[in-house]
Each structure stands twice: as structure tokens, then as C-alpha cells.
């Protein structure tokens, strides 16, 4: 099969398109023909050596796919060849075929197209898991989503609206992304690079602040986030895009019962797959009933993985980037 392999850590140029051996499923696994593989910031960190769950080279990058089951192991139940699925493969996703454990493979209706399904798998799972199981957001509460123009961000805005969250705000780092974020459901938009975005959020919430903040930023934004987090609010950190130290005011949490929560959806997939299935069942239901539509900014050939990483790291694309094997790629 054709696939992408990382043989050394580094920039996008280390992503090599080459012939690779077909993966072979074990008794508890399924073999999947990949129809779409989404590109995530975690992939760029794994490629460069900064992802906490990354494998050592050589490895096939990528975390999530959509495709058709080709074969199943002897112990697999409820999944059969021919099923359309989304999955979190153990063998990497930037390839024509992938192997996944049955507990992290989820059958989807054939009415859900592969591009939408592959774009949705990780970002929708991450957003839904954080909102429902980590932050435990309620309908009467309010939400601020940082980096709201990205894959997780745009999806989180829609998931929050689908869950009936009262007020939803987004933050961006580039002014040209504002219209898109508003179209995705944001009631108000702030610039996370501004030193006064916390003040802007408080002004938009009549001085109260927001109940939940979802942030992949970390660093200097943490202190501002606490300034605009309402009493009993929850700041959920799921990344460190800013790659800088964070500082906490000494009375920033306990005096008003505010919390900082960490969330790695990948860590859940590895060690607590039960809650992941609950989350993914909800994601599939949202997709089927068209309550969310994961925005795909770019579809590229599998061999263009390096370009995909470059676009993502340079913040030059809205929403998701999806890689498609050559034989299934259709030029717009």
C-alpha cells in the first residue's frame, strides 16, 4: 500500500510518501480501507517530537479515519466487512489501509459521506467529550471557545449550539476569520492575541464572565481566561499552542470556586475507551441528524501531507484538512 512515513523528526519535509507493507489485524482488530484521514495539530507535534502520545520513528502519522471495513479478527463482534466506519487506528491514518481496535471503531450509516466523517472523528469527539464529560456544561451556561476558526473550535461552537448552550463566544488570532466563526454559531468574537480580550468578554456578559472556556492555547492566555471566568466556572485546557509558561494569580481559583481541567482525548482513547464510545455515539447521532457539519477547508491527496502540515502550522486554512488516497481523490 501507499502511505506516509516519518523516519526522523523534523519539519513537514520529513513526511515521506512511499510503499509500505499492508497492516495485518490481530484477533481484536479490524482492517479498514481508508477513504479519508483528517490532519490534526497533534500530527504536526508528533512529526516534530512534541506530542505526548507519539510513537518513535519510523511511524505512520495520523489519528483518525473514515473508511470501509475490509476484514475483521476472529474476536470482533458487531463489525463486519463492508461496514462504513470511523476509527482511531493503532497503525496510523496517513495510508491507504489502517488497523484499529474494535473498541475504537464505530459503524456509521452510509448516508454520512466519508469526507464529513473523517473530518468529524477526532475534532467532534474532542469537542463533545470536553463539553459533556469534562466541563459538564449545562444549557443555561455560557462558553468561550479559543482558536474558534480551527477544526476543534468550529466543531465546538456547533456542538454547544446543538446541546442548547445559552451563549457561545469564539476567539481568533486573525481578523479575517471572524465572519467564518460567526457563521459557525458564535454570538460574539474576540482576538486572543489582545491583552484586553478578557475585558471584552466581561462586557459581552454584563460583567459576569463565561461559565466554561475551552482552550488549546495555554501560556499567557491562562491568566486572562481566569479574569473572564465566572464563579464556579471551568477552564478546560487541551493544548499548548503558545508554547510558553502560564502564570496563575494566587487567589485565581479557590476564592470563587473556579477550576482548571486538563483534557487529552487521546489519553482517554488509550486508557478509558468506555467514555469514548459514549461520546462517539453522540457524535454520530449529531452527524446523522445534521445538527453539526464539520467544516472542511481543504481536501488534498495523501501524497500532499507535507503541504497539509504546512497550511495547518501557518494558520492558512479554516476548519479541517482531509487527506484522501489517490484512487478516491476527486478534483473540485
Domain boundaries, the chain: 2-121+294-328, 138-263
For the chain, residues with pLDDT lower than 50 are none
Q: What pLDDT score does 142 carry?
A: 98
Q: What pLDDT score does 331 carry?
A: 63
CA–CA separation, 303 and 201 (whole Å) = 42
DSSP H helices in the chain = 41-48, 114-129, 151-162, 178-183, 197-204, 221-227, 265-271, 273-288, 305-313
CATH number of 138-263: 3.40.50.720
Q: In three state form, how does the secondary structure of 192-240 look?
A: CCCCCHHHHHHHHCCCCCEEEEEECCCCCHHHHHHHCEEEEEEEEECCC
Q: What pLDDT score does 264 carry?
A: 92
- How many other CB atoms are there within 10 angstroms of residue 166's CB atom? 14
Q: What pLDDT score does 250 carry?
A: 67
Distances (CA, A) of 219 to 23, 131, 229, 267: 39, 22, 16, 21
Q: Which CATH architecture has domain 2-121+294-328?
A: Alpha-Beta Complex (3.90)
CA–CA separation, 99 and 107 (whole Å) = 15
Look up the pTM and report it: 0.90
Amino acid at each position: 500500500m501507499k502511505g506516509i512515513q516519518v523516519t526522523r523528526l523534523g519539519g513537514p519535509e520529513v513526511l515521506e510518501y512511499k510503499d509500505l507493507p499492508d497492516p495485518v489485524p490481530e484477533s481484536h482488530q479490524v482492517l479498514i480501507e481508508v477513504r479519508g484521514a483528517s490532519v490534526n495539530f497533534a500530527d504536526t507535534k508528533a512529526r516534530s517530537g512534541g506530542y505526548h502520545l507519539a510513537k518513535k520513528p519510523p511511524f505512520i502519522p495520523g489519528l483518525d479515519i473514515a473508511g470501509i471495513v475490509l476484514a475483521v479478527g476472529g474476536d470482533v463482534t458487531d463489525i463486519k466487512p463492508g461496514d462504513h466506519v470511523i476509527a482511531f487506528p493503532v497503525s496510523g491514518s496517513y495510508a491507504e489501509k489502517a488497523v484499529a481496535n474494535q473498541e475504537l471503531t464505530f459503524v456509521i450509516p452510509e448516508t454520512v459521506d466519508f469526507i464529513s466523517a473523517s473530518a468529524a472523528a477526532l475534532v467532534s469527539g474532542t469537542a463533545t467529550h470536553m463539553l459533556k464529560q469534562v466541563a459538564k456544561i449545562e444549557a443555561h451556561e455560557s462558553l468561550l471557545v479559543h482558536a474558534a476558526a480551527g477544526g476543534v473550535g468550529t466543531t465546538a461552537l456547533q456542538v454547544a449550539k446543538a446541546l442548547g448552550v445559552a451563549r457561545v463566544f469564539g476567539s481568533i488570532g486573525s481578523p479575517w476569520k471572524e465572519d467564518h466563526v460567526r457563521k459557525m454559531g458564535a454570538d460574539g468574537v474576540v482576538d486572543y492575541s489582545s491583552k484586553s480580550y478578557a475585558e471584552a468578554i466581561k462586557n459581552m456578559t454584563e460583567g459576569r464572565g463565561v461559565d466554561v472556556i475551552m482552550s488549546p492555547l495555554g501560556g499567557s492566555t491562562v491568566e486572562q481566561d481566569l479574569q473572564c471566568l465566572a464563579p464556579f466556572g471551568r477552564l478546560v485546557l487541551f493544548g499548548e499552542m503558545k508554547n510558553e509558561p502560564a502564570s496563575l494569580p494566587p487567589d485565581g481559583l479557590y476564592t470563587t470556586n473556579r477550576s482548571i481541567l486538563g483534557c487529552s482525548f487521546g489519553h482517554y482513547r488509550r486508557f478509558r475507551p468506555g467514555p469514548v464510545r459514549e461520546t462517539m455515539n453522540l457524535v454520530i447521532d449529531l452527524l446523522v441528524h445534521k445538527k453539526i457539519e464539520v467544516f472542511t477547508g481543504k481536501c488534498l491527496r495523501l501524497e500532499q501531507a507535507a503541504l497539509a502540515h504546512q497550511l495547518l502550522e501557518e494558520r492558512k486554512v479554516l476548519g479541517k484538512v482531509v487527506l484522501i488516497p489517490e484512487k478516491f481523490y476527486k478534483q473540485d
